[in-house]
Chain A
Amino acid sequence: MTHFSALSLIKNALSGQKNWEPQWPDSEPKAEYDVIIVGAGGHGLGAAYYLAKEHGITNVAVIDKGWLGGGNTGRNTTIIRSNYLYDESAKLYDHALDLWDGLSQELNYNVMYSQRGVLMLAHNVHDVQSFQRHVHANRLNGVDNVWLSKEEAKEFCPPLDISPNARYPVVGAALQRRAGTARHDAVAWGYARGAAARGVDIIQNCPVTAIRRGPDGRVTGVETAKGFIGAKKVAVSAAGHTSVVMDTAGVRMPLESYPLQALVSEPIKPIFPCVVMSNSVHAYISQSDKGELVIGSGTDQYTSYSQRGGLPLIEHTVAAICEIFPIFNRMRMLRKWGGIVDVTPDRSAILGKTPVPGLYVNCGWGTGGVKATPGAAHTLAWTVAKDDPHPANAPFTLERFSTGRLIDEAAAAAVAH
C-alpha cells in the first residue's frame, strides 16, 4: 500500500500520476473464509478493517450486491454527533466520535472530519426541557454539549433568523462543538484500502441470496451470485436490506425500511459555519467543503426500497429551511436523492449476536448510521472476533424487544401536553 503524504503526492505529480496503485483490488471469492461480512458500506468495511487490525483475523470477505460504499454510506448528509440522551447511546456514539477524531491518521486517508459543531434548535418550552435534559446528561457523561441562548446561537450561526415573529421562533439551542461532518465516501474508501492492505477480500457486485446453516443450526456460509462461499461466521451489515438477508437465516427482524431524502444546493462561497438541526420542523442543514448546502429531511411515511421519495416531503423540508434561514430562499436546489434506512421500533440500532450461532447483525441505524460508522464497525469486529458483546454495544441487543428494555431516544423527546 502506498503511504499517502504530501511527499508522495509531489513525487507522483512529477511522474505524471502514473505510479499510483489501486487502493483496493476487486477480489474474486475464495471457497471459504473465517468471517464473511454482508454489506460493503462504511460499517461492514470498517468491521473488516478492525477484525484484521485489532483481532488478527484477516481471512475475511466483505461482500456487496453492488459497489462498495454505494448504499447509505454514499447517500447521507454526513452529520456526526454523539449528544444522545441515554447512557447507552451516548457511550456508543461517543466511542464512534473518539474514533472519528483520529480516523484520517489511523487510515492514512483524509476523511475530512470537520468539527464544525452541531446546533440543535429549540422552538418551544418542550424543546427547551428536552434539550436541557440532553445537555445535562451529556455533561455528566463527559459528552460535550452546551446550551446557548438564541443570541449566542445567532452568533455561532449568523444566517439564523431569531426574530420572535417566526412561525417557529428560535428560543435557544444545544451545541455540541466536537460534532460536525465528514466526507462520507472517503470513510468507505479509507476502510476498504486499509482492510484490503491487511488481506481482506472485497467482493463487489455479488448479491448474497441466502445465509446457510448446518444441521446444528450454526452458520456455514452464504449463497451468492457467484456460488456458495463458506464461512465460520457471518455478520450482516446491510442497512435497508438487512431484513431480506436475515430472513434467509430464519431470523425475523423488528425492522422497517423507509425512504429518506436529502438534497444539495448549488455551491456557494462559505456562508454556513456549522450544522443546524431542527427536530420540530424536521430539517437539518450544513455546507459541504465544496460549497453546497446539504439539507436533509425526515423519512417518507411508507416503507419502500425504491430510493425515490415524493415531492411533498422535499417541499416541506425546503420550506422549513427557508423559514429558519430566509436568506436562502433564492438559492437553487441542485440535486435531490433518496436512501433506504432501516428503522427499529425504538429507533436505536441492533448490534450483536443473534439467535443463530455464528451469525451477527448490525442494523437499525435509521437516520443515524453515518455518525456511528467507526463505533459500529469497531464494536462489531470485537463481537464477531470474541463472540461476545463489546461494552459499548452490549445494550443494543435483539432481546430488548422481548423484555421491553428499549433505548428509545425518540420517545424521550415525545411531545404530548
Chain B
Amino acid sequence: MSSFRVSGRGRVDHTQPIQFTFDGKKIKGFKGDTVASALLANGIHLMGRSFKYHRPRGAVTAGSEEPNALVGTRRGPGRFEPNTRATVQEIWDGLQVNSQNRYPSLSFDIGAINDKAYMLFSAGFYYKTFMWPKSFWDKVYEPFIRAAAGLGVSPTEPDPDHYASRYLHTDVLIIGAGPAGLAAALSAARAGSRVTLVDENPEAGGSLLSEPSAQIEDMPAWDWVGKTVAELKELGVKLMTRTTAIGYYHQNMVGLCEKLTDHLASPDGETPRERMWRVRAKQVVLAQGALEKPLVFDGNDRPGVMLAGSAQTYLNRYGVRVGDKAVILTSHDSAWYAAFDLADAGTTIAAIVDTRAEPNADLVAEATKRGIRIMAGHTVTGTEGRLRVKSVRVNPVTGSSVGAPEVIGCDCLLMSGGWTPSLHLFSHTKGTLAWDEERQTFLPDHKAEECEIAGAGRGLWGIEAVLNDGAAMGAAAVKSLGKDIAPASYTVANDRPGTGVSHKELPTDLDAGKARAFVDYQNDVTAKDLRLAVREGMRSIEHVKRYTTNGMATDQGKMSNINGLNIASDALGVPQPKVGLTTFRPPYTPTTFGAFCGYHKGSHFEVTRKTPIDSWAEENGAAYEPVSLWRRAWYFPKDGEDMHAAVDRECRATRASVGIFDASTLGKIEVVGPDAVEFMNRMYTNPWTKLAPGRARYGLLLGDDGFIRDDGVIGRLADDRFHVTTTTGGAARVLNMMEDYLQTEWPDLDVWLTSTTEQWATIALNGPNARKVLEPFVEGQDMSDEAFPHMSVSECRVGGFPARLFRISFTGEVGFEVNVPAHAGRALWEMLYEAGKKYDICPYGTETMHVLRAEKGYIIVGQDTDGTVTPHDAGLSWAIGKMKPDFVGKRGLARPDLVAEGRKQLIGLLTEDGKTKLEEGAQIVLDPNQPKPMKMVGHVTSSYHSDAAGRPIAMALLEDGFNRMGETIYIPMPDRVIKAQVTGTVFYDPEGARLKL
C-alpha cells in the first residue's frame, strides 16, 4: 500500500484489499473505500475535467456534493452509468471506472484549449455571437458547442437491472444519521414512536465518523455511535443506510431512494438495484447537517485543492492522507482541527493561512505546539501546478491592502470558507428561509410542513450543541404526537466548537480581471463571470444564475450558491437577502431514472386489459391492435395472408354465412332504479319513456357543450333497469359523467349506476346464418323474427349460461350479441364456434368490424367524430328526442356556431377511379389548383377497401356536406390529386333488407 494510507486508521477494512480499474489501470483499495478515497490513497488527485474549460480537477469533497470527481462506472454489459460521483461510489473487486470529458486522455486533453481562450468564453458569451451567418448556427456552431458540452457519455444499452418501490408509514422520519439525527431518533424512539432514520452514507454516524477523538458521555465517538445504533435497533427503529431523501412533497410525503447493489461485487440478481420509498410521516426531523464552502481565489480548482473538512474525513474515515505537505487556507476554526489531525498523522503542515487577523488563541497554541507556521490575516492569491497543485502564493492583508506574496511549496491546499446549513429538503416544502446576519447564511424561518430542523441545519456548531439540539427536536417531534419525553442531555469532551467568517472572493494584489477564481467548479463559473453578469444588468440571483450557469451543475449549487450570492450581493451593493436565493428543487442528489420507474417497465408500464376470450384469439393466431388499455384481436390471418387478404376473407364469410366477434371490451353500465327512465331521458339525447322492456335503442350521449361524447346500444330490461353499452375507450368516462350528473345535479333521482364491463363477456354473431348457429343454444326466448325482432333484448339462457341476448347489428347483417358472465365467455365462444363450423363460421377482428360497419355508414365515435361534431353534423338528428324539455347537451346545441349553416357534416366519398383507397386523415379541397395555404373543407375519417361494394369506400367530414351530394371534391396528396364524389354514407344494402330474417 502507498505511503498515503495510514496503517490501521479509519473505518475501512485493512484486511480486505479490493482491486478496481481507473482508466484501465489497476488500483488497490480496501473494503469501505470510495473510488475517491482509494485513488487518493494511491496519490492520485486528478480525477476529472471541468465542463467548459476542461481544466484538470480532483475531488474537492468527500461526499455527495462533489462537483469535480465525476466518473463513468461500469459493471459488464448494459451496466454503465456516467457522472457517478467518485466520492460516493464504493469500490468492489472488478469495478471499472473511467474518467470523462477528456480526449485523448485525462492528463492530456485537447479540449483544454478552451482554457487558453477563457477571456472569450466569459459568462453568456454565446448569447452575443454565433449569429452570423445565420445558417451556421444549426450546422456549425451548435454541433460544436454540443460536442464540447455534456460530461460523461450516455449508456447505449437497455438496463438489465430491476428496481422496486414501496410505501412506508412512520411516526417520525429522521433524515440524516449524524449526531443530531441519532440523538433525535433516541428521543423519539424512547418515547415509544415508530421511527425511521435514513442516511445516504453506508453507515450511520455522519460527521462523528470524521471525529474519532471526541468523547461523548465518556465514550469515544465511534463507540457511542455503535452503542446508539444498537439501542435504536433494540427500540425498533428502522435504520436505512445508502438511502437518500430525494424530495419532500405535500403533507409530509418524502421520497427516499435506497441503493441496494451498487456497492456489491456480485449482486444476487434477485435484489433490486435501487428501491424508491414513498414515506408518509407524521413528523419529519431534518438533520442533514451542513456543507463546507470553498474559498474563492485564483487557482482554487487545481487537483490537490480540497475542502479541509473533506481532508479530515479522508484521514479519519478512510485512513488516507491527501498529501505529504499541506497548506491550510481558512476563514473558519474547523480547518485548524483538520490540520492538527493531518499533522498528527504525519503530513507536514507548511502553514495555516487564516484570513482572520486574530484566530482563536487556543487553536494558535495547539498549532504552535505542533510547530505549525501560522499566517493570520493572510490570503491566498494564486496556486501553481498543472495536474496537481505544487505551490501556493500567500499574501498578508491589512485592511484593504494586500501585501507582497510569498510562495509556499505544497502538494495539497486545504481550504474552508465556513459551512452552509443543508436546507434543500426544507426548501422543497416551500418553507421560508431568513438571512442570519451573524452567521452570514440562510436559516429556516416559516415552516410549511410538520417538521423540525435539528443541529447544523439551524446554524449550530460543535458536537455537544448539535447532540443536545437533536435530542430536543426529537422530543419536539413526538410531543405533537402526544408523547412527552425529557430530551437527554449530552456532554462531549474533546469537542471541536468553532466560528468563522464568510467571504466573497478573496482579495488579491494581482489583476482581479485575470483571476481564475472558481465559484461553480463544474460549470467553470468564476467570480469575474458573476460580476460581469451584474454589470450587464442581471440583478436577481435567478438572472445571475441563469446567465452564468452558477449553481446549475450536478451539485445543484451545493458548493457555489452562497459564495455566488456573496459576490453578486457585493457587486450589486445590496445585502444578500435582497438579491435572493435560488430555489432548491428535488432531487437532493441526482437519482436514477430506473428508481422512479420502479416496477413500471415493459408489460408492467401499464396494464394490458384482456377479454375472457383473448386466450382463444391468441391460440388461433390473432394479430392484435391496442385500443385504449385493451388489446383486441385485429384480424385472424391464415397461412401467408396479409391484413388486406384476411380482412376481405372475414368480411366475405360474415356477409355470406356467419362471423363471430369478441365484443367484450364494449363498456357496459347497469342503470337501475325507480327513476332510471327519467335519468336516461336526461342523460341521452334519445327519448326512453316509450321504449318497452325487451326492446333496445341506439343511444347518443353529448356533453353539455352539445358535442358528441359517446354512443352505444341500450336495452331496457325492465321498467326500472337499462343495460347501457358504451364505446370501448369511453366506458370509464361515461360512467364518471353519469355519476357526476346523478350525484351533483340530480340528487333527487333514485338511480344506481354500476359498471358491468368486466362482468359480461360479449360475443357477436353476424350474418345470414347467425340465428341458425345460435338458436340451438338459447333457452327461454323464442328466436323467431316476430317474437324477437331486430332491436330486441332478452334475459334468457344461452349454452346453459344466464345471458342477456341482444338482437342488434353493427354489420348490416342479422346480428346477435350474447352477454354471458365473464367466466363463461370462452366456453360459450367455443360452443358457438364448434356449432358454427358447419356454416363455415369465421372469427373476425376489429378491422373487419370496422369495414362492415363502414359499409353501412355506422359511425365510430372518436374516428368519424372528434369532439367538435354535433348529432346533426354526424347525420344523427333522428336520435334527438325533440319533445324532451332538456337533456345533456340540448342547450349547448342551440349555441350560434352549432346551428350555423355550412358546418362540417359526415358524408360518404367514392373515388372517381373506383380503385384508389383514400388515406384516413387526408384533407379535402374544392379547388386543387389554389396556392398554399389551401382552403380545406374537410377530411377523410374512415376509409376501407370494401369487398361487398367491390371498391374502396370512405366517409368524411365535409363543409356543408349534406348539400354537396353528387359533387366532385379533391384530395391533394403529396404526389397527385385524387378526385372523389360526395355520396351518402350507406354503401351496402341501403334498404336494410338483410337485417330481416
Contacts and interface: CB of A to CB of B under 8 A. Distances in A.
A332 B83 contact: yes
Contact of B601 (A105, A130, A271, A319): A319
Contacts of B597: 315, 318-319, 322, 329
Interface in B114-135: 119-120, 122, 125-132, 134
Interface stretch (A49-57, A111-119, A148-156, A223-231): A111-119
B79 to A, nearest CB: 7
A348 to B, nearest CB: 12
A203 B79 CA distance: 52
B82 A266 contact: yes
Interface in A305-363: 306, 308, 310-311, 314-316, 318-323, 326-337
Contacts of A265: 593
B250 A319 contact: no
A142 interface: yes
A145 to B, nearest CB: 11
Given A115-B138, A311-B249, A316-B600, A104 B922 contact: no
A387 interface: no
A331 B921 contact: no
Contact of B51 (A69, A110, A267): A267
A125 B921 CA distance: 12
Interface string B558-591: 0000000000000000000000000101110011
Given A335-B556, A335-B585, A404-B896, A319 B605 contact: yes
Nearest to B512: A16
Contacts of A404: 705-706, 892, 895-898
A10 B120 contact: yes
Contacts of B865: 416
Contact of A141 (B253, B535, B542, B932): B932
Given A136-B921, A267-B151, A403-B895, A332 B866 contact: no
Given A266-B554, A336-B585, A414-B867, A16 B513 contact: yes
A269 interface: yes
A30 B120 CA distance: 39
B536 interface: yes
Contacts of A335: 556, 585-587
A16 B128 contact: no
A411 B866 contact: yes
A136 B919 contact: yes
B728 A417 contact: yes
Given A403-B897, A414-B867, A327 B129 contact: no
Given A266-B151, A330-B155, A136 B601 contact: no
Contact of A267 (B120, B554, B592): B554
B553 to A, nearest CB: 8
B920 A330 contact: no
Contacts of B539: 26, 67, 204
A290 interface: yes
B289 interface: no
B137 to A, nearest CB: 7
A291 B419 CA distance: 31
B921 A26 contact: no
Contact of B128 (A8, A131, A319, A336): A8
A214 interface: no
Interface in A7-22: 8-10, 12-14, 16-18, 20-22
A23 B247 CA distance: 36
B921 A132 contact: yes
Contacts of A102: 134
B707 interface: yes
B120 A417 contact: no
Nearest to B130: A110
Given A112-B137, A315-B600, A316-B600, A142 B730 contact: no
Interface in A148-201: 159, 161, 166-169, 183, 185-186, 189-190
Nearest to B583: A337
A315 B596 contact: yes
A406 interface: yes
B151 A336 contact: no
B925 interface: yes
A37 interface: no
B255 interface: yes
B627 A185 contact: no
A56 B496 CA distance: 67
A239 to B, nearest CB: 16
A416 B710 contact: yes
B933 A329 contact: no
Question: Which residue among A21, A90, A114, A268 has the maximum number of chain B CB atoms within 10 Å of its CB?
Answer: A268
Interface string B33-70: 00000000000000000010000000000000000000
B863 interface: yes
Nearest to A19: B535
A109 B598 CA distance: 43
A18 B513 contact: yes
Contacts of B892: 404
Interface string A76-91: 0000000000010011
5 contacts: A18-B535, A141-B934, A268-B153, A329-B592, A336-B247
Given A9-B125, A129-B941, A417-B860, 19 more contacts: A128-B921, A132-B920, A167-B603, A183-B127, A268-B82, A268-B150, A270-B147, A271-B154, A290-B149, A326-B158, A327-B154, A327-B155, A331-B82, A333-B596, A402-B895, A403-B895, A404-B898, A412-B866, A416-B863
Interface of B: 51, 79-83, 119-120, 122, 125-132, 134, 137-138, 142-143, 145-147, 149-159, 161, 165, 247, 249-250, 253, 255, 276, 278, 430, 511, 513-514, 528, 532, 535-540, 542-543, 546-547, 549, 552, 554, 556, 583, 585-587, 590-594, 596-598, 600-603, 605-606, 608, 625-628, 705-707, 709-710, 727-730, 860-863, 865-868, 892, 895-898, 919-923, 925, 932-934, 936, 939, 941, 972, 974
